[in-house]
Amino acid sequence: MDLADLYLPPDGDIAPGSIQPVVLTGEAGDREIRLMRWGFKLPGRLLFNARSEGIERSQFWNDSFRERRCIVPADAIFEWSQADKGKKKPKYEISIPGREPFGMAGLWKAWKNSKTGEWEQTFAVITGEPNEVVQPIHNRLATILDPRDYEEYLGEIARPPLHLLRIVPAEQMRATRIEEATESVPQMDLFGKDAG
């Protein structure tokens, strides 16, 4: 599977709660691209990330990690610095030069929309400890899969693929400051809320 074959139309800074494409294994065992909502609506919050630490033991995530894994394609991650305590927080574009798009490790499950009464497919991004590039900006980093691991991550395997949840080496990643956002504007950053 080659994510480079995907065409991702420009979508700016994608926010949790939006509908996005994910790659998964279909019922016939082939690869499919499906549009899903980013995040699970729980009482009082939107759960859009899953911590890699202990994910195989998590009551909320363990079934998805065993049976419903997906890959979330992206060209870059946008993050507001949490290290800056001032009124304006710098915004960064985090990318892997030469790997556009890359594939983030994800999970999916069905969720019943209380407003419509209909079931929706939703996904979350798995996060881990940051590398040295991201650590000054944020305390979490999306688990970005090595392209050689895509097939194994999406395949049927006897044990959950914990060994594939590695952090991209810092020398492969770049963080570019692109703008400032005022703290008064509500922002949902990619790594804002994780769940174990």
**What integer pLDDT is reported at residue 35 of this predicted model?**
93
- Kindly state the tokens that stand for 34: 């499906």
pLDDT one-digit tens code per residue, 124-139: 999 999 999 999 999 9
Ramachandran assignment for 56, one of left (phi > 0), alpha (psi -120 to 50 degrees), beta (any other): alpha
What's the fold here for domain 31-76+100-170+188-195? hypothetical protein yedk fold (3.90.1680)
pLDDT one-digit tens code per residue, 149-179: 999 999 988 888 999 999 899 999 999 998 6
Q: What is the mean pLDDT of residues 140-150?
A: 95
**What integer pLDDT is reported at residue 112 of this predicted model?**
82
**What integer pLDDT is reported at residue 192 of this predicted model?**
43
**What integer pLDDT is reported at residue 141 of this predicted model?**
94
Q: What is the mean pLDDT of residues 103-110?
A: 94
As to burial, measured by CB atoms within 10 angstroms (0-12 exposed, 13-18 middle, 19+ buried), residue 50 is buried
Q: What is the mean pLDDT of residues 9-29?
A: 82
When comparing pLDDT for 80 and 182, which is higher? 80
When comparing pLDDT for 53 and 5, which is higher? 53
Q: How confident is the model at residue 190 (pLDDT cuts 50, 70, 90)?
A: very low
**What integer pLDDT is reported at residue 8 of this predicted model?**
58
CA atoms within 13 A on the CB side of 66: 10
Candidates 148, 142, 144, 125; CA nearest to 65 is 125
